[in-house]
A and B are shown apart, each in its own frame.
Chain A
């Protein structure tokens, strides 16, 4: 049975956001709470998270943040490591189903009520969507849970989250930006992460990923990439990556030659 988390209605969330956005992490520790007057739960679909469970989740996250300098020191260079570890933690411990994880008020509660101090420590003076999850792919916690969800590799029982390290955040954002098409397929994203080369010396990795995604978008128009099993998908993706590498190192094709517009050749 999955766990249901409290949800914070939009108005209350907005109020809360205005209250905390300019404050520092140290001040906000006092404001954190395991419940809110306006909170509500989904009527059905799981077990409601009790306050002690929320407190436990908070302590887990705070402990992790503390190892990276919370609350006094800014995060600095270990951003990527903190994010991937937190993604693992949230995905492994929250016991969420995707349907619940797609609910914005749930993430708003987490960021604005349960962990406001960690939120502003991670994103000082955060823009609205980092807290309110108006766009979950930008939410301070929601985006991490989804990244773990999409990259979790159940084949590797010892370390199912090993793929989290492959893409830096801004690159993974490109995948999420296309979530209506290829971003919606965990199989595809996992295969992409597994085939993604480590070494991109001489090539802009971000642009290369953008191009690979574009080609997959082209292919997806007539080929059902979602339906392929991983064993068939991976060679396809490896080939696409190779194509992009060659194309990027190749000089750009010359413009269209000034030729006639072609006449039907009779046989």
Chain B
């Protein structure tokens, strides 16, 4: 068996970058390190996917098992430089942290191809993969993965920065011409130092060290049986016979001020909020399956489709996928298609997003557009205008078109968490800058209150009284809200939203022949009624929070409607009488056209089809408000000449 030992890189006569210099390539990122760790390592794992099966992505915070602790000390200190700038020695000896327990944070991926290719950097590679060289040896290799998320691989320096020892172990299993091969190496990115050599002469070292099969001027990984035996001695997770992948073990991770419990919770949330587009179940095998472990216990990773706040983004993403009201954003001069955007609005209870989401800028109900490129990783949540109510969240997804991918990638800082047009030149700069302008315009249009939603269902509701009961949690309630508004009838106008259309066009009476039988049938009956339009929504007004239900007149004639509001109680019924001294919801009145009327009744002597009215109710905090609109009197217009 080969004896693995440390090799410290001396400065070559021609000079080299020092370890400190490499660490600085990442800059001062605006988001915390654990979040960057997730983003960077998940991106690497995602780019390395084999395909045909989901990528397993696992984070495991654990300790070195006592039975392996001795092996860690004997194997991992072999040949280590005697310097206080190599802290692994102190940590493994238990001197620095007054404890011999060494924690490890392992980032694993499976269903990935592992780190393959040659194991020394001075071999010309042509088109061969060179993952090993890029990850273990070089710094700042240009990207080769097609449409990959990574650019120059600066992100990996986060792995060293997370370790108090500046040390990671890389354990990988990768296909080679001779079959799957295990490789194991230790890497330390410490500080540059000067050490006396065998002849007592001081020599400068870059601060980069490798642990493995040390040769004259570089280190080969332990491979095959050597790697397996060393991994077993160190207590590393073995690979199954037919699986490939990579484990990166961060020695003694520095998780900041958080307790370990908080830290793993944060990591789990960060996985959901940073990686959700590639976690979605709808992707089938082309997705990532995350897991988080802490000392042998599973920590649940929030499921994006079911997580409050995040599911609004998922809904927008689905719209984008299905082309449901998705729009293509254009640059006018020069003419260029930039990317596609879809938006989704949802009524959600007030909630506080987890810390991992807050660090990404989502501090209350989402009002953001998630920016992404072809790899479908979250670049950034771009904030839009605040919604009109704390309960009304909206979310968007903007995805760059494939042929624009390089432009947006070039605008990203090393941490891939923004698009900075100022770091571009010429047309590219214009494109990225225009993108943000277009998103802003689109949001201004979308975030406006609900008049925007004007599409009409074709099915008249025959009943004299329309049951419009809609339930939403009022004001500051902490309960869940549900809206029971009738769905749009099939055959509704659908995708084309009447933003610029004159109101009422959609439900114009018999004169229009555009839509055939359904419409003429209704005009024959000439029934007049009312139909609610969309869900009730909250509105901030000068007299406090109000609950508003939009409705549309169907048919022409004399229409008298009455609105009522009450509180729904535990058994599902409506409260008869409020407790003494407590409020009950009040029907303030109606809005119609430009006017308004106080009181619960609205008398429209000449109601016309498509006319909009809105019932305004003052809700009571901490209750569920039930609103009803009923038709008291409906007289259709007598057709002329009969």
Contact = CB atoms under 8 A, between A and B. Distances in A.
* Most central of A180, A211, A214, A261 by chain B CB within 10 Å: A261
B546 to A, nearest CB: 5
A247 B591 CA distance: 33
Nearest to B581: A247
Interface in B560-583: 567-572, 575, 577-583
Interface size class of A (residues with CB under 8 A): 35 or more
A51 to B, nearest CB: 42
A207 B546 CA distance: 31
B542 A214 contact: no
A263 B541 contact: yes
Interface stretch (A64-72, A150-158, A165-173, A249-257): A249-257
A261 B616 contact: yes
Interface in A208-250: 210-212, 214-223, 225, 244, 246-248, 250
A264 B387 CA distance: 12
Given A219-B622, A221-B568, A221-B570, A265 B542 contact: yes
B543 interface: yes
A262 B588 CA distance: 8
Contact of B591 (A210, A211, A256, A261): A261
B485 to A, nearest CB: 18
B543 A253 contact: no
A241 to B, nearest CB: 12
Given A182-B570, A215-B582, A253-B581, A264 B541 contact: yes
Given A181-B569, A220-B569, A265 B575 contact: no
Contacts of B575: 214, 217-218
B570 A264 contact: no
B486 interface: no
Nearest to A212: B579
B598 interface: yes
A265 B389 CA distance: 11
A225 B596 CA distance: 40
B540 interface: yes
Contacts of B579: 210-212, 214-215, 244, 247
A43 interface: no
Interface in B465-483: 473, 477-480
Contacts of B543: 259-260, 262
Contacts of B623: 218, 221
A210 B578 CA distance: 10
B539 interface: yes
Given A217-B570, A244-B579, A222 B540 contact: no
Contacts of A207: 580
Contact of B567 (A182, A218, A250, A264): A218
Interface string B543-570: 1101000000000000000000001111
26 contacts: A178-B571, A181-B569, A181-B571, A210-B579, A211-B582, A214-B582, A215-B579, A217-B570, A218-B623, A218-B624, A219-B622, A220-B570, A221-B570, A221-B572, A247-B580, A247-B581, A253-B583, A256-B586, A259-B543, A262-B544, A263-B541, A264-B388, A264-B539, A264-B541, A265-B540, A267-B385
Given A221-B567, A262-B588, A263-B542, 19 more contacts: A178-B571, A211-B581, A214-B577, A215-B579, A220-B570, A221-B623, A222-B477, A244-B580, A248-B581, A253-B581, A253-B583, A256-B588, A261-B588, A261-B596, A262-B544, A262-B616, A264-B540, A264-B541, A267-B385
The 6 closest A-B pairs by CB, nearest first: A222-B479, A220-B570, A247-B581, A262-B541, A211-B579, A217-B569
